[in-house]
């Protein structure tokens, strides 16, 4: 099995503040069930974390750009790392991710390179 990073992009920066406690609890339950299923299959490396929609981007020449100026759909909003036999299985796992319950989300599935 190989490691794959699921990179969550986009979303609603105000989702947390506009979500009721009940909606938040239901969302966390879905995430817990999905991650629990992956743990049972020994396919969860890291549940990851959501990322703030704020921050800075630094270019090679040292130019600092506030992330608020980056188009929202391109902004990484979180990640998880899973194990799968190949990119097709990793993509199938990603399609079941509860992240798709949120608006304006895309997921990149990327192999984690092993450097020995």
Predicted confidence (pLDDT) at residue 33 exceeds the cutoff of 90: yes
Per-residue pLDDT band at 13 (split at 50, 70, 90): confident
CATH superfamily, domain 2-111, is Dimeric alpha+beta barrel (3.30.70.1060)
Q: Measured between alpha carbons, how far is 25 from 40 in angstroms, rounded to an integer?
A: 22
Span 97-113, pLDDT tens digits: 999 998 889 999 999 99
Q: Measured between alpha carbons, how far is 12 from 7 in angstroms, rounded to an integer?
A: 16
What would the two tokens of residue 25 be? 């609890």
Predicted confidence (pLDDT) at residue 116 exceeds the cutoff of 80: no
Return the SS3 of 92. helix
Predicted confidence (pLDDT) at residue 45 exceeds the cutoff of 90: yes
The domains of the chain are located at 2-111
Q: What is the rounded average pLDDT of the residues 23-44?
A: 95
Predicted confidence (pLDDT) at residue 72 exceeds the cutoff of 90: no
What is the reported pTM? Answer: 0.88
């Amino acid at each position: 099995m190989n490691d794959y990073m699921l990179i969550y992009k986009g979303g609603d920066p105000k989702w947390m503040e506009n979500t009721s406690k009940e909606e938040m609890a239901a969302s966390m339950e879905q995430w817990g069930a999905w991650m629990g299923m992956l743990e049972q299959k020994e396919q969860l490396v890291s549940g990851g974390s959501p990322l703030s929609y704020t921050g800075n981007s630094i270019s090679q020449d040292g130019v600092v750009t506030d992330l608020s100026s980056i188009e929202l759909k391109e902004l990484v909003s979180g990640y998880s790392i899973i194990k799968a036999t190949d990119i097709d299985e990793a993509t199938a796992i990603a399609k079941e991710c509860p992240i798709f319950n949120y608006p304006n989300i895309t997921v990149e599935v990327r192999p984690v390179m092993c450097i020995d």
